[in-house]
Amino acid sequence: MTAIDLAGRVLAAEAARYTAMGWMRGTSGNLSVVSGRDPLRLVVTVSGRDKGELSEQDVVLIDEHGAAVPDQPHPERVPSAEAGLHGRIAAVSGAGAVVHVHALAPVLAAERWPAGVVLREQEMLKGFGRAAHDDVVTIPVVPNSQDMRVLGEAFAAGFRPDTPALIVARHGVYVWGDDLHQARHRLECLEWLLRFAVESGFDARERRAG
Amino acid sequence: MTAIDLAGRVLAAEAARYTAMGWMRGTSGNLSVVSGRDPLRLVVTVSGRDKGELSEQDVVLIDEHGAAVPDQPHPERVPSAEAGLHGRIAAVSGAGAVVHVHALAPVLAAERWPAGVVLREQEMLKGFGRAAHDDVVTIPVVPNSQDMRVLGEAFAAGFRPDTPALIVARHGVYVWGDDLHQARHRLECLEWLLRFAVESGFDARERRAG
Amino acid sequence: MTAIDLAGRVLAAEAARYTAMGWMRGTSGNLSVVSGRDPLRLVVTVSGRDKGELSEQDVVLIDEHGAAVPDQPHPERVPSAEAGLHGRIAAVSGAGAVVHVHALAPVLAAERWPAGVVLREQEMLKGFGRAAHDDVVTIPVVPNSQDMRVLGEAFAAGFRPDTPALIVARHGVYVWGDDLHQARHRLECLEWLLRFAVESGFDARERRAG
Amino acid sequence: MTAIDLAGRVLAAEAARYTAMGWMRGTSGNLSVVSGRDPLRLVVTVSGRDKGELSEQDVVLIDEHGAAVPDQPHPERVPSAEAGLHGRIAAVSGAGAVVHVHALAPVLAAERWPAGVVLREQEMLKGFGRAAHDDVVTIPVVPNSQDMRVLGEAFAAGFRPDTPALIVARHGVYVWGDDLHQARHRLECLEWLLRFAVESGFDARERRAG
């Protein structure tokens, strides 16, 4: 089994998990892990497959621009169209894994707070890598686009090393971490925080201004 | 194993999947695949069975009007009452598979927007076969009826080849595609979009008018 | 295996199913099947067990008043406190199975419409044993009580043979049918209808008055 | 297998159950059982592990202050930071098991009723160890803190032997009982009651004042 196949097996299991949570409907979403840094290489899920039914074969090795590199067992496999944003996020943030899912709560929150979703005074922020107190976390929201360079620029313009997530309005959320496990934990905690924000019905800014 | 049994096995697995999502309560909903075009023939789930407990036997071969055809191993099996609408949809749209489920979000959306549910500027529209930008998608809503000819006429009157779904008010949703997999992916994405519409609490028309 | 054990096995499987749906939290809820008519006998789940972990042993044979009958392998087992209402429902309605669960939607609906929840013009009413059109279904709501005779009288006072359900306010719902399968299907469809009523936010009376 | 390993196995299974319900996102939450009374000793889940993937090894023996005791097979394992509150709750209440999860409904309820969540006239209160009628249950709410002594004092100040739960605002809920089974049942029923309170949209005080 090649290293790519091994990464594919792990990505397939993670995708099945998110699918069961309703966060990867149809063929939506994509997951990646960094396999090399110089030059940057990521193993990313291929385009167009049911994310609950991936096999270890359903991945492809890409460069930082999201293009399949020629030197791999199956260069003909087609990476997700969003692979370019995975590459940009990994390059800018130094993350080892990037997950992009279509959970509902992030998109609902972005619809309500299109300038960014403010979170503070929440224990669950620790699971996102921030402090539970005396810390203001703003999850950036960028407009949707089909051009990964446009999304990449919008991401980079708002990037802060301490905020490992990006909501793309009317689309979904990206979360990253040192590895898939950390990215998962951050995603699960962020989704909870955004669901809380949406269900409690008001913004942390309104509530805790001062 | 006959071709009908084989289709039955696939339909049973798909029905179990939808049941687990809460979209086929009790014996509600029905699924079909086209098995021939000239004349049109569909394999459709039988009436009255628990949709989480179907076996490969719980299907029947029908014509475009939803009637069981005589030339099959078990012509005595009773197709779903809604088989006639499956036949009509397959005949008009050219679809290879039609799924009808009682998910809650489509019926809630139809209650709110009885003249049709307008969706636009959503990445998930790509999973429904449309564009994420500069495209206005109206999911048709028709009044419920027990007469499949009435429903069939209402469907045909509003049919557009680029919109593979129909909501029957106070009833459920039909989605179709080239095969069961494509129909599933379209359904999963549409359900997400309609849940977003209902939970975000306003109409795409109001929000993005212009 | 005795007939009681056999009934116990089926009731345990059904209880595990409802537990997975979140409808039998902790040790709440109880299920019964009629095992004899003259005199009336029911096999009912015992009191105080986790409803997701029942074994075939966790049932007891009761009379129409909910008392354990002496002539059974384990007369020392304690029936659910609510067994008396199971007996009364089976006696009055002629049902072969009664299910009582603590689903949230029925209790939310009863809180909103304490005089009874009106349902009409819904396809899902067919799964409850009624008509989808030109039929007004009122699910009776009775106040909660710890006295099964009080609940039984309230049930009997509002009983209609065509309405196989009863909501006990701030408590849960009873649904019955010829057998456990029919009771399950009716419950699943009723829960959907009540969730629709609660989420759509208005009463069928207001909406379709005329 | 040591007694600690055995407790670890049971705690891991319970944590996996809560994870599947979405109540232990990422590495959040922790569970404990009392293993000795004089002096007080608890087996508690370790810090920082995915709560859906615990093994029997992922526990540590602590004293009433939450510190790992030296006399155990693996004193180097790090207890959860919140172990001190587990110890305090077990010491004050006499409970045999304490569960702490990040379910959403308790935190939503605390946001709405920060002075305590009042519950009354609910059958499900019996599953929480209280009466369904003529009883007013107030679930205490305390502000979040990273100092377990502060949380412990706030808990002790509001402790009533008949109310086996504590909500930590913008954080999560603690529930306890004689054993893990009883704690689970109380938690499941309390979560239902708090979800009802949040979804029905008004306080028991407003509704049933008298």
DSSP element (H, E) containing B89? helix B83-93
Q: How many CB pairs under 8 A join C and D?
A: 51
pLDDT for res B204:
47
* Domains contained in chain D, number: 1
Indicate if the pLDDT at residue D205 is higher than 70. Answer: no
The pLDDT of residue C79: 95
What whole-number distance in Å separates Cα of residue B20 and Cα of residue B108? 20
Q: How far is D134 from chain A (nearest CA, A)?
A: 30
pLDDT band per the 50, 70, 90 thresholds, residue A128: very high
Q: How far is B185 from chain A (nearest CA, A)?
A: 4
Which distant-in-sequence residues (6+ apart) come within 8 Å of D181 by Cβ?
C50
pTM of the full predicted structure? Answer: 0.95
Cβ neighbours of A191 in D, within 8 Å:
25
Question: Are A199 and D168 a contacting pair at CB < 8 A?
Answer: no
For residue C89, the model assigns a pLDDT of 98
* Contact between A108 and B196 using a beta-carbon 8 Å cutoff: yes
Q: Which of D175, A135, D185 is nearest to C27 (CA)?
A: D185
Instruction: List pLDDT tens digits, range B142-180.
Output: 999 999 999 999 999 999 999 999 999 999 999 999 999
Query: CA dist A148 to A33, A84, A85, A97, B92, Å?
Result: 18, 6, 6, 18, 38
* CA atoms within a 13 Å half-sphere pointing along the CA-CB vector of C108: 27
Task: Please name the chains neighbouring A, where neighbouring means 3+ C-beta pairs under 8 angstroms.
Answer: B, D
ipTM above 0.90, yes or no: yes
pLDDT(D61) > 80: yes
Q: Given an 8 Å threshold on Cβ–Cβ distance, is B102 in contact with C124?
A: yes
Going by C-alpha positions, the residue among B47, B38, B35, B29 that lies closest to residue B7 is B35
Give the dihedral of Cα atoms B26, B27, B31, B32; nearest 10 deg. 170
Q: pLDDT for C40-89, tens place per residue?
A: 999 999 999 999 999 999 999 999 999 999 999 999 999 988 999 999 99
Q: Do C27 and D184 touch (CB under 8 A)?
A: no
Opening angle at CA A50, ends A172 and D50, nearest 5: 65
CA distance D193 to D138: 12
Banded pLDDT at A209 (limits 50, 70, 90): very low
Contacts for A33 with CB less than 8 Å, ≥ 6 apart: A7, A10, A11, A42, A43, A96, A97, A179, A180
Mean pLDDT of chain A: 94
Whether residue D81 is predicted with pLDDT greater than 90 in this model: the reply is no
The span from the CA of D120 to the CA of D114, in Å, is 17
C-alpha angle with apex B6: B4 to B11, nearest 5 degrees? 90
Q: Which residues pair with B167 in a beta bridge?
A: B141, B173
Residues above pLDDT 70, as percent of chain B = 96
Query: Model confidence over B127-152: pLDDT tens digits?
Result: 999 999 999 999 999 999 999 999 99
Query: What is the per-residue pLDDT across D11-35, written as a single tens digit (0 to 9) for each?
Result: 999 999 999 999 999 999 999 999 9
SS3 B137: strand
Between chain A and chain B, are at least 3 CB pairs below 8 A? yes
Distances (CA, A) of A34 to A41, A53, A97, B176: 6, 22, 6, 38
**pLDDT above 70 covers what percent of chain D?**
96
pLDDT of residue D202: 52
- What is the rounded distance in angstroms from the CA atom of residue C110 to the CA atom of residue C117? 7
A85 with A66: CB under 8 angstroms?
yes
Lowest-pLDDT range of A195-204, B12-21, C154-163: A195-204
Between CA C137 and CA B160 the distance in angstroms is 37
CA–CA gap between residue A159 and residue A44 (Å, rounded): 22
Choose among D47, D51, D45, D62: nearest CA to D18.
D51
Q: Neighbours of C (≥3 Cβ pairs closer than 8 A)? A: B, D
Of D126, D100, D105, D88, residue with least CA distance to D18: D100
Q: Does B104 touch chain A (CB under 8 A)?
A: no
Q: Helices A104-112 and A180-200 meet at what angle, rounded to 10?
A: 50
- Number of Cβ within 10 Å of residue D76's Cβ equals 8
User: pLDDT digits over A5-62, tens only?
Assistant: 999 999 999 999 999 999 999 999 999 999 999 999 999 999 999 999 999 999 999 9
3-class SS of residue D1: coil
Q: Is the pLDDT of residue D206 over 80?
A: no
Q: Which domain holds residue C92?
A: 3-209
Closest chain D C-alpha to A196 CA, distance in angstroms: 7
User: Across the interface, do A104 and B199 touch by the CB < 8 Å criterion?
Assistant: yes
Residue A76 has pLDDT above 70, yes or no: yes
The closest CB to that of C185, out of B50, B104, B171, belongs to B50
Task: Render pLDDT for B187-202 as a digit per residue (tens, 0 to 9).
Answer: 999 999 999 999 997 5
Residue D175 in contact with residue D190, Cβ under 8 Å? yes
Q: What subunits make at least 3 CB pairs under 8 angstroms with B?
A: A, C
D–A contact: 3+ Cβ pairs < 8 A: yes
pLDDT digits (tens, 9 = 90+) for B45-69: 999 999 999 999 999 999 999 999 9
Residues B100, B172 contacting (CB under 8 angstroms)? yes
**Res C134: pLDDT:** 94
Summarize pLDDT for B73-106 with one digit per residue, the tens.
999 999 988 999 999 999 999 999 999 999 999 9
Strands, E, within chain B: which ranges?
Answer: 30-37, 40-45, 59-62, 97-101, 117-120, 136-139, 141-142, 165-168, 172-177
pLDDT at C208 over 90: no
CATH for A78: 3.40.225.10
For residue C81, the model assigns a pLDDT of: 87
Mean pLDDT of A159-184: 98
DSSP string, B12-61: HHHHHHHHHTTSS-TT--EEEEEEEETTEEEEEEBTTS-TTS--TTSEEE
* C111 interfaces chain D, CB cutoff of 8 Å: yes
Q: What is the pLDDT of residue D201?
A: 72
Residue C201: per-residue pLDDT:
72
Q: Tell me which residue in B181, B199, B200 faces A50 most closely, judged by beta carbons.
A: B181
Task: Categorize the per-residue pLDDT at A206 as very low, low, confident or very high, splitting at 50, 70 and 90.
Answer: very low
What's residue D98's pLDDT?
A: 98
Quick check: helix, strand or coil at residue B79?
strand
- The 10s digit of each residue's pLDDT in C87-108 is 999 999 999 999 999 999 999 9
Q: Looking at residues A175-199, what average pLDDT do you find?
A: 97
Stretch 12-51 of chain D: residues touching chain A, C-beta under 8 Å: 22, 25-28, 50
**Which residue, chain included where needed, has tokens 């370019």?**
A84
The predicted pLDDT at position A102 comes to 98
Q: Which pLDDT score is estimated for A81?
A: 87
- On average, the pLDDT of chain B sits at 94
Q: Sorting pLDDT into bands at 50, 70 and 90, what band is B203? A: very low
Q: What does the pLDDT average to over A129-156?
A: 97
- Report the chain A residue with the minimal C-alpha distance to residue D53: A181
